[in-house]
């Protein structure tokens, strides 16, 4: 006899899930996992699968209360051993996918560890040499490199300041690769534009000369709440927590187990449980599950998967000896390193460290997690670029380390990076968007400030001058 107890544990959100309950000190978008725990307790009765002498059911069914029920039936727990109904969540409805109980979040919400949380109202994202963000009115603007139409403005001219993108409907999430852009809409559709290099569009074709300078929908995707991108591949997570990826499949970064160099249509990621967030870089990716467990896959040449070895894997694999599931809040993937944020505000990192991107005071690579910041840092968001990492604290203070800019002088000028977290002279930030070599911050008053590399105008201040200090972006409110 068993009963189902729902445990909701507090945690810390990422930028992608920002804006659920409040800004500081309150459950930022589902900072804690909701997980089902079955307990055996005398005197408590609950539905369960029938005994061995129950009616014989097909392989597509199980027996509950003397009746064969389909393994996709929500009312009897899908494919679970129990016959209890799938649990419900506020702002969502129960759903059965891949014979697992999950939750389909309402429009405007996405999966988070406490159930369903509001999507960000003003998303922003940074790529290799371009940047995009939404204004207070919800209009989308992009700037920087545009040689393949990645700004979506009906031309291929670079723009040194924000340029309006004619994209109808509310933009929920943004993700930028090297020369393409993805936008997840409030409708659940995903739009793409830019170059289709190595299948980045997920429409069954590929080619760097196949480019679009205006947004168009990816037909194979719907019901999407979250997108991620890097290099020439993209990923999406549905409102019920199931992921698909496509495009350049370096070292198996698409996560479907295939060794094919390109995956031209969105392919289901082989995931052990529903995901609440996903971070990816050129050739590896990591995702946080609803249980709080971390899974990584792809290249592992520098130990960036955290598996305590250097073996690449083509499907999501549980990262061992990290933190307890209840304590993991978010993950950020750099080019060859990975960092996680704990629910208590600490930071742990692993992988390549040749430029100090682990923030531990030396340049030794690590195949397992090491402590970068103690919980006393009160970090609440973490992002990573190619060779750097940044966090935002509960007060809005920003710290960065590795090869990045961010104080009165350039940080990490080659060949040496900043080996420990360094304060950025910025002011209180709401959240960060990390590009390959530049960073943008949405400030508490909603204006944008950016710094770092600026060869194509990706900073957005009207110049191509690299910026060691954050500068204001002339961004429409």
Q: Which fold has domain 118-354+365-377+440-472?
A: Methylamine Dehydrogenase; Chain H (2.130.10)
Share of the chain above pLDDT 70, in %: 84
- Say which range, 203-212, 278-287, 331-340, has the weakest mean pLDDT: 203-212
Q: Of 117, 92, 87, nearest to 106 (Cα)? A: 92
* Confidence band for 98, pLDDT divided at 50, 70 and 90: confident
pTM (predicted TM-score) = 0.79
Residue pair 474/468 in contact by the 8 Å Cβ criterion: no
Q: What is the mean pLDDT of residues 383-397?
A: 94
Give the residue with greater pLDDT, 7 vs 128: 128
Question: Of the given ranges (71-75, 277-281, 389-393), which has the lowest mean pLDDT?
Answer: 71-75
Spatial neighbors of 145 by CB under 8 A, at least 6 apart, are 128, 129, 130, 158, 179, 456, 457, 458
Question: With bands split at pLDDT 50, 70 and 90, how would you rate the model's confidence at 207?
Answer: confident
Residue 58 has pLDDT above 50, yes or no: yes
* pLDDT score for 405: 55
Selected residue with higher pLDDT from 13 and 272: 272
Cα separation of 284 and 207, whole Å?
A: 22
The whole-angstrom separation of Cα 279 and Cα 360 is: 22
| DSSP classification of residue 57 | -
Containing H/E element for 171? strand 171-176
* pLDDT on residue 327: 77
The pairing of strands 130-134 and 115-118 is unpaired
- Count other C-beta atoms under 10 Å from residue 46's C-beta: 15
Tokens, residue 345: 């505000």
Q: What is the mean pLDDT of the chain?
A: 84
Length of the chain: 477
Tokens of 189: 């559709």
Higher pLDDT, 378 or 304: 304
Which two three-digit tokens encode residue 274? 């529903």
- Give the pLDDT of residue 209: 83
| Average pLDDT rounded to a whole number, residues 449-461 | 96
Helix (H, G, I), strand (E, B) or coil at 325: helix
Confidence class for position 36, pLDDT limits 50, 70, 90:
very low
The Cα-based distances of 224 to 57, 150, 227, 332, 335 in angstroms read: 35, 21, 8, 20, 25
The sheet carrying 388-393 orders its strands as 379-384, 388-393, 398-402, 418-423
Which range of 95-99, 192-196, 410-414 scores highest in mean pLDDT? It is: 192-196
Report domain extents, the chain. Answer: 118-354+365-377+440-472
Whole-angstrom CA distances from 16 to 28, 46, 110, 112 are 11, 38, 10, 10
Lowest mean pLDDT of 69-83, 164-178, 206-220, 298-312, name the range.
69-83
Task: Return the exposure string of 325-347: e unless at least 16 CB atoms fall within 10 Å of the residue's CB, then b.
Answer: bbbbbbbbbbbbbbbbbbbbbbb
- Convert the pLDDT of each residue in 347-364 to its tens digit: 999 999 999 999 999 999
Please compute the mean of the pLDDT values over residues 68-73 and round it to a whole number.
91
Per-residue confidence (pLDDT) for residue 311, from 0 to 100: 98
CA distance readout (Å), 124 to 139, 259, 278, 432: 12, 32, 16, 8
Q: How much is the pLDDT for 279? A: 97
Please give the pLDDT value at position 108: 62
Hunting for tokens 């490199």 — which residue is that?
A: 145
Residue 120's Cα: distance from chain center in Å?
13
CA–CA dist 415, 355 (Å, integer):
8
CB count, 10 Å around CB of 22? 10
Cα angle value 45/48/49 (rounded, 5°): 150
β-partners of residue 263 are 247
Whether residue 437 has pLDDT greater than 90: yes
pLDDT digits (tens, 9 = 90+) for 393-429: 989 999 999 987 554 344 444 456 789 999 998 989 9
Q: Give the lowest-confidence range in 54-58, 151-155, 457-461.
A: 54-58
């Amino acid at each position: 006899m068993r009963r189902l107890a729902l445990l909701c544990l507090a945690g810390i959100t990422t930028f992608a899930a920002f804006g659920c309950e409040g800004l500081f000190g309150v459950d930022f978008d589902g900072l804690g996992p909701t997980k089902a725990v079955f307990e055996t307790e005398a005197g408590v009765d609950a539905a369960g699968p029938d005994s061995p002498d129950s009616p014989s059911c097909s392989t597509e069914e199980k027996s509950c209360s003397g009746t064969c029920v389909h393994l996709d039936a929500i009312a009897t727990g899908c494919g679970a051993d129990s016959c209890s109904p799938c649990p419900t969540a506020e702002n969502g409805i129960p759903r059965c996918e891949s014979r697992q109980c999950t939750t389909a979040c309402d429009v405007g919400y996405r999966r988070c560890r406490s159930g369903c949380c509001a999507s960000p109202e003003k998303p922003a994202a940074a790529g290799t040499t371009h940047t995009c963000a939404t204004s207070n009115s919800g209009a989308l603007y992009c700037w920087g490199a545009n040689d393949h139409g990645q700004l979506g403005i009906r031309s291929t001219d670079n723009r040194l300041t924000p340029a309006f993108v004619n994209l109808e409907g509310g933009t929920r999430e943004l993700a930028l690769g090297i020369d393409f852009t993805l936008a997840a809409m409030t409708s659940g559709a995903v739009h793409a534009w830019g170059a289709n290099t190595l299948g980045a569009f997920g429409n069954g074709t590929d080619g760097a000369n196949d480019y679009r300078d205006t947004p168009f929908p990816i037909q194979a995707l719907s019901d999407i709440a979250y997108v991620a991108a890097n290099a020439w591949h993209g990923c999406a997570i549905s409102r019920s927590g199931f992921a698909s990826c496509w495009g350049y499949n370096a070292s198996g970064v698409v996560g479907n187990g295939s060794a094919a160099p390109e995956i031209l249509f969105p392919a289901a990621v082989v995931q052990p449980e529903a995901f609440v967030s996903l971070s990816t870089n050129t050739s590896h990716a990591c995702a946080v599950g609803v249980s709080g467990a971390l899974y990584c896959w792809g290249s592992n040449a520098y130990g960036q998967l955290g598996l305590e070895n250097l073996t690449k894997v083509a499907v999501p694999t549980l990262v061992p000896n990290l933190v307890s599931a209840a304590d993991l809040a978010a993950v950020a993937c750099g080019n060859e390193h990975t960092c996680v944020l704990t629910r208590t505000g600490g930071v742990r990192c692993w992988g390549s460290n040749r430029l100090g991107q682990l923030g531990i005071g030396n340049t030794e690579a690590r195949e397992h997690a090491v402590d970068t910041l103690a919980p006393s840092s009160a970090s609440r968001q973490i992002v990573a670029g190619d060779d750097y990492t940044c966090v935002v604290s509960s007060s809005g203070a920003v710290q960065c380390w590795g090869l990045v800019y961010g104080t009165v002088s350039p940080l990490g000028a080659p060949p040496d990076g900043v080996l420990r977290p360094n304060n950025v002279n910025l002011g209180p930030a709401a959240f960060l968007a990390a590009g390959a070599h530049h960073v943008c911050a949405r400030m508490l008053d909603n204006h944008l400030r950016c710094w770092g590399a600026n060869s194509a105008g990706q900073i957005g201040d009207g110049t191509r001058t690299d910026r060691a200090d954050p500068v204001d972006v002339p961004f429409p409110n």
